[in-house]
Structure 1
Amino acid sequence: MDKKMERSRRACSKYSVWLLCRRIRSSAAAFSNPLVISSLIGILSSVEILSVFLFTLFLAWTFYTRISQDFKKLTPVESLKLDLWQLKYLRVATRFGLLAEACLALLLLPILRGLAVFRILGIQFEASVRYHIWLGTSMICFATFHGASTLFLWGVSHYIQDEITKWQRTGRIYLAGEITLVTGLVMWITSLPQIRRKRFEIFYYMHHLYIIFLVFFLLHAGDRHFYMIFPGVFLFGLDKLLRILQSRPETYILSARLYPCKAVELILPKDTGLKYTPTSIIFMKIPSISKFQWHSFSITSSSTDDNHRMSVLVKCDGWWTSSLYDNIQAELDTDADKMKSIPVAIEGPYGPSTMTFLRYDSLLLVAGGIGITPFLSILHEIAAAQGSRRYRFPSRIQLIYVVKKSQDIGLLKSVSSLLENQPSQKWHLKLKVFVTQEKQSGVTVAEILAETSQVQTVHFGTKRPIYAIHGPESLFWIAGLAGIASIVFLVFLICFNHIFLPSEKKSVHSLKLVVSSKNKAPKEKSPSWVADILIVSSFFISLACSTLVAVILRWRRLKKEIPLVSLKEEKTKELSSIETKGVVEEHEVHFGGRPNLEDVFSKFLNETDGSDVGVLVCGPETMKEVVASLCQQKSRCFKIGDKKRKPYLRFHALTFTL
C-alpha cells in the first residue's frame, strides 16, 4: 500500500513539473507567436512590437529633450538672417539629423554574420535582415527631412548658392553632408524590392557605396558624433575581415546533380570537425561566374549524417543561377580528364545556435517551391540522430509541399527513403503534395518521384588540392581578435592625437605667448577634418594588424588540421547515396489548386491531441501570412481546468530570399 502511495506521489509530482514546464513554454509561445499580420510590414510578434515601441519611445524622448533645450537657448546663425520660426525650424531639422544617427548606430548590427548577436535570441541572419531594412528606411527618412529642411532654409535666406558648396575648415562640412545624403538615397532606392529582385546586380554593387557614405558622414558630423555609430562600424569591419579570411583558400565542387525542374544540387567538401544545425545557410561565390557576387543558399544535408560533405540545392531563377546550371550542364559530355573543376568560395555556415525544433512533440512543415530546402536538412537531422538519447525528437511530422509543376516534386529525392515510414522508426512522417498548375488523376507520389528523380550527376576531377570547408571561427577566437583590434585602435588614436593635434595645455601656453607678444600672429586652429582622418587611419591600422594576426593563425590551422579530400572516396560515396527505395502509398498528392490550409491544420491538430506543435513555414510571403493567421486563430494557451489537453502552436517563419 505504501509503495502504491509513493508511486502515485511521484506520478503527481512529475505531472506537476510537466504542467509547469508546459505553462512556461505556452507563455513563451504567446510572446513569439504572430500578433500583427500585414502584407505591408510583415508578420510581427509581441517581442518585436515591444522592441519597436521601446526604440520609438527612445527616439521621441531624445528628440523632445534636445529640442526643448534648443528652444530655450536660441541663438541666431551669423551667416544666415533668419526669423524666429525659421530658427526653430532649423533646430528641428538639426535634431532630425540626430535621430538619423541613432538609427545608423544600430543599422549594421543585424547584418553581422560571424558576430551575429541575434543568433543568441534564436533569430537567423536572413530573418534579422528585415531589422536592417527598417532601420535603414527610418534613417533615410530622418536624413532626408534633415537635408531638405536645411536646403529650404538656405533658399529662404537667399544663401543657398554660398552654403551648398561650402567646405568649412572647422565645424560641420555641408558639402560632405550632401554627398552622404545622396549616397544614402541611391543605396536605399536600389534596395527596393522592385529593383533588388529583378536587378540584383544593381542592388549588390550600389550597396557597396556604404564606404563612401560612412567616410563623408564622418566628415560632415565630426568625430564626436561618429563615436556614436563607431561600435557598429567597428564590428562590421571586423566581421567583414573574418568573412574574407574564411573564404580563403577556395575549395572546389566535388559533384553536382542536375534535376529536370531546372535545379542543381552541389556537393561540397566539409571538414569532419565542422558541425552545423539544420536550417543553416552558406554564402557562395563562384569566380568563374562573378568575382564579386555572393549568394546565400540553405544547406540540405546534415552534419550528423555526413562528416565529409555538405550539399546545397539551387533553383535556377536569374542570371547567376542560370549560368551555374549551364556551366555544369556543359560538362556532362566532357571526358573525365578534360573536365574543368569549378572553384568556389564559401562563407559560413550560419544558423541557429540550438535545434529548437527538437523540443516539440509534433512538427507541421509548410513549404512552397524551393522553400523545401531548409526542411530537407531538418528531416535528415532527425533521421540521422534517431539512435541518440541526447535529444527528444518529434513523434509526428507532416510535410505540406506546394509546387507549380509536378517535376518540382523531384527535389524530394534526397528524402525519398525517409518517406517509407518503416515500422522500426520512432517517428511518423506524412507528405501532402499540392500541384497548383497541373491537373491529373490517379497518380501517386511514388510514381511522380520515379518520373522526376532522373537526375544527371557530374563528378568533377582536379589535380589541385581541395581544402574542406572549415566554417566560422570559435567565439573565443573572435573575441580575442576583437580585443586586439580594439587595443591597437585606441593606442594609435591616442598617439596620433598627441602628435598631430595640439593639446589643451599647449593651446593655453600658445595663447599666453600671443598675448605677451603682439608682433606674432596667433597660430591657426587645426582643421576639423584632421581628427576625422586620424580616426580613419587608426581604424584601418587596427584592421591591418588584426588581419596579420588572423592570417598567421589561420595559415597554421590550415596546415595542421584541414586534410585534403580524396576524390575516389567521394565517388564511391556518391554512387551508394543515390540508391532510392519505394515510397508507401500513404502520402497524398493533389492537383489543380492550392491547399485548404485551415482544413489541413484542423486534421493535424486532431491527430496530435494535447501535444506541443511546432509550425514551420518557408515560402512566399502570402503563404507565411496565411499560416501565421491560422496559428494565431488555433493556438490555445493551456488551462488547468480543461478536461482535455489542448495543443498550442509555435510559429516559425524561415526565409530563403534576402
Structure 2
Amino acid sequence: MDSKVVNKSTSSHENIGAVRAIIKLLLMAVYLGTLMLWVLMPTNTYRQNWLPHLRAKFGFTTYFGAQGTTLLIYTFPILFIAVTGCLYLHLGNKLNDNNVLERNGKKHRLGIWKKPMLVKGPLGIVSGIELAFFMMLIALLIWSLSNYLHNSFADITPQSAAEEGVKVWQGKLESTALRFGLVGNICLTLLFFPVARGSSVLPLFGLTSEASIKYHIWLGHMVMTLFTAHGVCYIIFWAVTNNISEMLQWAKIGISNVAGELALLSGLAMWATTFPPIRRKFFELFFYTHYLYILFVVFFVFHVGISYSLIMLPSFYLFVVDRYLRFLQSRRAVRLVSARMLPGETVELNFSKAPGLSYNPTSIMFINVPSISKLQWHPFTVTSSSNLEPEKLSVVIKGEGSWSKKLYQVLSSPSSIDRLDVSVEGPYGPVSTHFLRHDTLVMVSGGSGITPFISVIRELMYASTVTKCKTPQVILICSFKNSSDLTMLDLLLPISGTPTELPNLKLQIEAYVTREKQPTTDNSKLIRALWFKPLATDAPISSVLGPNRWLWLGAIISSSFIIFLILIGIVGSYYIYPIDHNSNQIFSFTLRAFLNMLVLCVSIAATASAAVLWNKKQNAKEATQIQHMEGSTPAGSPNSWFYNADRELESLPRQSLIQATIVHYGKRPELKRMLFECKESSVGVLVSGPKRMRHEVATICSSGLAANLHFESISFSW
C-alpha cells in the first residue's frame, strides 16, 4: 500500500512538472513576442505597414475605437503572462518542498551569471544577469530614440519647415521633444512591475518585490530624465517660436499640454525626494510625497489620451490590483500576542497566525501602528518559520528611525499596556528557497542585518529535526557595536515551538563586538517580555486570498479585465460612438480617459472585493479555532540565554546554541580569510547589513579566487 502511495505521489509530481514545463514554454514565447514588438515599434515597417493593417483588422471601431488595437497588442499579452503565471506558481506550490529545494543537480547552472559583476558605483551591487538585462534596456532605449529621430528628421526639410512656419532646427527640436516622450513611455511601461508586491510576474523571473525595488529606482530616474527632457524641449520650442501660450492649452481633442505639465510637476516633486540624502534624512517627506504618483498617472492619461496610455496599462493594472488587495488586508485588526524587548531599542513582535498561511525565509511584512502614524507603513523582516511555528508569526524591529524608536518607547514605558492596535500587509517573500542546495551556508550580518538570517536558521532547525532532511553546515558571522546587542542572538530561538533537540543542525556562530574590549555585567536583566490581551475581533494574520491565493489572483486579473472590456464596450457603443458619428462634435478625449479609468477601478474593486469576502469566511473559521492559543500570561520575563550561559539550562537547544557561539571583543571579522577557508564544493554566501559590509563580501565573492562561493545580498535599505 505504501509503495502505491509513493508511486502515485511520484506520478503526480511528474505530471505537475510536465504541465509547468509546457506553461513555461508558452510564457517564454509570449514574452519574446512582446519583446520583439517593442524592438520593431520605432521602425517604419511597424508604423507604416503592420500597425495600419492591425488597426484595420482589429480596430473594433464601434465598441472600443482606436484603443482596441492597443489593448490587443500591448495589454492582453502581459495580462496573459500574469494570469498564466498564477497557474504556474499555483502548481509549483503543489510540489513537495524537497523537490523545490533542489540539491546538487541544478545549483550551478546560472552560478556564474548570478555572481556580482559591479560592486561599487551608482547601481550598487549588480549581478551578471542584472547587468545583462540593464544593458538590454539601455540598448532598446538607444535603438528606439535613434530610429525615431532618424525617421522623423528625414521628413523635416527646409520646404516642410517653411510650411509649418518654423526653421529646420526648430522643427527638429520639436521632433526631438516628442521622441523623448515616446522613449520615456518605454520606461514608464516597466515602472510599476517591481512595486506590485503580490504580483505573479516577478516570481516568474525569480525575483521578490523587495529585491526589485532597485529596478524601480533605476526606471524612475530614467522616466523622469526623459520626461523632463521632453517637457523642457517643448518649452524651449514654444519660447523660440513665440507660442508660449501653448503651455496653457487643454485641448478637447488630442494632446493636453496643461495635463502634461501637471503630470511632470507631480513627477518632479516625487523625484526630488527620492535621492538618498533626502530620502533617509526626511523619510516622512519622501513617503507622503510619493503618493503624488496618483496625480502623475491620472494627468499622464489626460495628457496623451487613453488610447496611447494603454501601452503602459499592464504594469499599472497589476499594481492597482495588488494595491487594492493590500488595502483590504490592511483594514483588518490583527492579533498581537506578545513582544520581547531587547536592549538597543530592539523589539520582537509575535502575532497569531492562521495555520494555512505559509511563507518562506527572508520574507518581509509591512506594519502600521495607528497610534504612532495612521499613514506610515514600514517593512520589517519576518523572523519566524511557518513550519516551525505554524500558529505564530514574528517580526523584529530595530529602533533606527523616529517611527521605530517611538514604538519602542511606547512598549517600554513604565505604564504597561495590555493591547496595541496593529495592521499588517503581507508577508511577502520568495516563492521558493535554495538554501539546501549548498553544502555550507555562510551568513554575514552587521547589527540588525541578522534578522533575515533568524528565519533561515529557524527553518533549518525544522528541516534538520522534524523532517530529518540533510541540511548544510551553517556559519553565522555577526558583528555588533556593543555587547548588549548580543542579546539579538536570543531571537534565534522562538518563545514557543522550539524543537526539543538540535543535534542534526551543524551551526557555528562567530559574534564580534567591535566597540568594547570586554562584556558588560548586568545585561541579563535587559530582556523583558510583554503579553497582550487581544480583543475577540482581532484576527490572526492570514493570506488575504487564502491558501490558493495564486488561483484567486489569476481569477481577479482575468475577470476584472473581462468586465472592464465589457463595460468599456457598452459605453463606447451606446454613448461615445453615437456622439462621434451622429453629431457634429467629437467626444472629449479627457472625458473618454476619465471613463476608462473609472471603469478600470470599479472592475478591479468589484472582483477583488468579492474574492476577499469569499475567502474571509474560511479565515474566520480558522480564527475561531485558534482563539484559545494565547493562553495564560507567563509569570516572568525570559532572561538572556547568552548571559546566563554559566547556569545550568534545561533547554537542550539553548545549550547547543551557547556551545556553538564564540564571541570576539574589540575586533572585526576577517571576512576574506573566513570565506576562503570554506573548501566545500558549494558555499552559499548571504550578507545583510551596512552597505560597506555588503560591498566587501561582494568583492570577495566576485574576485574569482574562489569559484565555490555563491553570493546573495539581502538588503532592505534602498
TM range (shorter): 0.7 to 0.9
Question: How many angstroms does 1:250 deviate by?
Answer: 1.0
Paired residues of 1:31 and 1:47 also in contact (CA < 8 A): yes
Which runs of 5 or more residues in structure 2 are unaligned? Answer: 1-102, 642-648
Q: In the alignment, which residue of structure 1 is the partner of 2:574?
A: 499
Of the two, which has the highest radius of gyration?
1
Identify if the C-alpha distance between structure 1 residues 170 and 245 changes in structure 2 by more than 3 Å, giving closer, same or farther.
Answer: same
Q: Determine the C-alpha separation between the residues in 2 that align with 1:62 and 1:503.
A: 38
Identify if the C-alpha distance between structure 1 residues 296 and 116 changes in structure 2 by more than 3 Å, giving closer, same or farther.
Answer: farther
Q: Determine the C-alpha separation between the residues in 2 that align with 1:573 and 1:216.
A: 59
Note the 1:469-488 alignment, pairs <5 A.
469-473=541-545, 474-488=549-563
Match of 2:133 among 43, 51, 55: 51
Paired residues of 2:461 and 2:502 also in contact (CA < 8 A): no
Amino acid of the residue matched to residue 144 of structure 2? T
Alignment of 1:141 with 2:214, yes or no, is no
Note the 1:417-432 alignment, pairs <5 A.
425-432=503-510
Alignment of 1:347 with 2:407, yes or no, is no
Deviations 1:245-282 (A, max 9, x none): 22232113211111122111111110111111111111
Helix, strand or coil at the partner of 2:271 = helix
Q: Determine the C-alpha separation between the residues in 1 that align with 2:661 and 2:605.
A: 57
Helix, strand or coil at the partner of 1:652 = strand
- State the number of aligned residues: 597
Identify if the C-alpha distance between structure 1 residues 289 and 119 changes in structure 2 by more than 3 Å, giving closer, same or farther.
Answer: same
Q: In the alignment, which residue of structure 2 is the partner of 1:15?
A: none
Alignment of 1:624 with 2:624, yes or no, is no
Note the 1:242-253 alignment, pairs <5 A.
242-253=325-336
Paired residues of 1:371 and 1:619 also in contact (CA < 8 A): yes
Note the 1:104-183 alignment, pairs <5 A.
104-160=188-244, 162-183=245-266
Identify if the C-alpha distance between structure 1 residues 80 and 621 changes in structure 2 by more than 3 Å, giving closer, same or farther.
Answer: farther
Paired residues of 1:497 and 1:534 also in contact (CA < 8 A): no
Identify if the C-alpha distance between structure 1 residues 599 and 417 changes in structure 2 by more than 3 Å, giving closer, same or farther.
Answer: farther
Q: Determine the C-alpha separation between the residues in 1 that align with 2:636 and 2:698.
A: 39
Paired residues of 2:544 and 2:615 also in contact (CA < 8 A): no
Question: How many angstroms does 1:373 deviate by?
Answer: 0.4
Q: In the alignment, which residue of structure 2 is the partner of 1:594?
A: 668
Helix, strand or coil at the partner of 1:343 = coil
Q: In the alignment, which residue of structure 2 is the partner of 1:400?
A: 477
Question: How many angstroms does 1:656 deviate by?
Answer: 2.6
Q: Determine the C-alpha separation between the residues in 1 that align with 2:196 and 2:182.
A: 24
Q: In the alignment, which residue of structure 2 is the partner of 1:556?
A: 617
Question: How many angstroms does 1:82 deviate by?
Answer: 1.9
Helix, strand or coil at the partner of 1:273 = coil
Amino acid of the residue matched to residue 591 of structure 1? Y
Question: How many angstroms does 1:477 deviate by?
Answer: 0.7
Q: Determine the C-alpha separation between the residues in 2 that align with 1:309 and 1:574.
A: 20
Paired residues of 2:507 and 2:660 also in contact (CA < 8 A): no
Q: TM-score, normalised by structure 2?
A: 0.78
Q: In the alignment, which residue of structure 1 is the partner of 2:27?
A: none
Helix, strand or coil at the partner of 2:210 = helix
Identify if the C-alpha distance between structure 1 residues 90 and 405 changes in structure 2 by more than 3 Å, giving closer, same or farther.
Answer: same
Question: How many angstroms does 1:236 deviate by?
Answer: 0.8
Q: In the alignment, which residue of structure 2 is the partner of 1:67?
A: 149
Percent of pairs identical after alignment? 32
Question: How many angstroms does 1:72 deviate by?
Answer: 2.9
Q: In the alignment, which residue of structure 2 is the partner of 1:518?
A: none
Q: In the alignment, which residue of structure 1 is the partner of 2:682?
A: 612
Deviations 1:108-137 (A, max 9, x none): 001111115223433222110000000000
Q: Determine the C-alpha separation between the residues in 1 that align with 2:189 and 2:494.
A: 50
Identify if the C-alpha distance between structure 1 residues 467 and 139 changes in structure 2 by more than 3 Å, giving closer, same or farther.
Answer: same
Paired residues of 1:359 and 1:392 also in contact (CA < 8 A): no
Q: In the alignment, which residue of structure 2 is the partner of 1:565?
A: 627
Paired residues of 2:107 and 2:437 also in contact (CA < 8 A): no
Amino acid of the residue matched to residue 496 of structure 1? V
Paired residues of 1:461 and 1:567 also in contact (CA < 8 A): no
Note the 1:184-583 alignment, pairs <5 A.
184-330=267-413, 332-334=414-416, 339-389=417-467, 391-394=469-472, 396-415=473-492, 425-440=503-518, 451=523, 454-473=526-545, 474-502=549-577, 507=581, 523-563=584-624, 564-566=626-628, 568-569=630-631, 571=633, 581-582=654-655
Q: In the alignment, which residue of structure 2 is the partner of 1:10?
A: none
Paired residues of 2:347 and 2:408 also in contact (CA < 8 A): yes
Question: How many angstroms does 1:570 deviate by?
Answer: 6.3
Question: How many angstroms does 1:464 deviate by?
Answer: 3.2
Q: TM-score, normalised by structure 1?
A: 0.85
Identify if the C-alpha distance between structure 1 residues 551 and 365 changes in structure 2 by more than 3 Å, giving closer, same or farther.
Answer: closer
Deviations 1:46-94 (A, max 9, x none): 1111111111222222223322222233386899742101101211111
Q: Determine the C-alpha separation between the residues in 2 that align with 1:289 and 1:424.
A: 40
Deviations 1:99-158 (A, max 9, x none): 111111110001111115223433222110000000000000000111111111111112
Paired residues of 2:443 and 2:476 also in contact (CA < 8 A): yes
Identify if the C-alpha distance between structure 1 residues 534 and 109 changes in structure 2 by more than 3 Å, giving closer, same or farther.
Answer: same
Alignment of 1:650 with 2:695, yes or no, is no
Identify if the C-alpha distance between structure 1 residues 294 and 417 changes in structure 2 by more than 3 Å, giving closer, same or farther.
Answer: closer
Deviations 1:613-657 (A, max 9, x none): 0000001111111101111125545xxxxxxxxxx1111100133
RMSD: 2.9
Paired residues of 1:259 and 1:453 also in contact (CA < 8 A): no
Note the 1:13-52 alignment, pairs <5 A.
25-52=107-134
Amino acid of the residue matched to residue 400 of structure 1? I
Q: Determine the C-alpha separation between the residues in 1 that align with 2:107 and 2:210.
A: 25
Amino acid of the residue matched to residue 204 of structure 1? F
Question: How many angstroms does 1:536 deviate by?
Answer: 1.3
Question: How many angstroms does 1:503 deviate by?
Answer: 5.7
Amino acid of the residue matched to residue 246 of structure 1? Q
Which runs of 5 or more residues in structure 1 are unaligned? Answer: 1-20, 511-521, 638-647
Question: How many angstroms does 1:472 deviate by?
Answer: 4.5
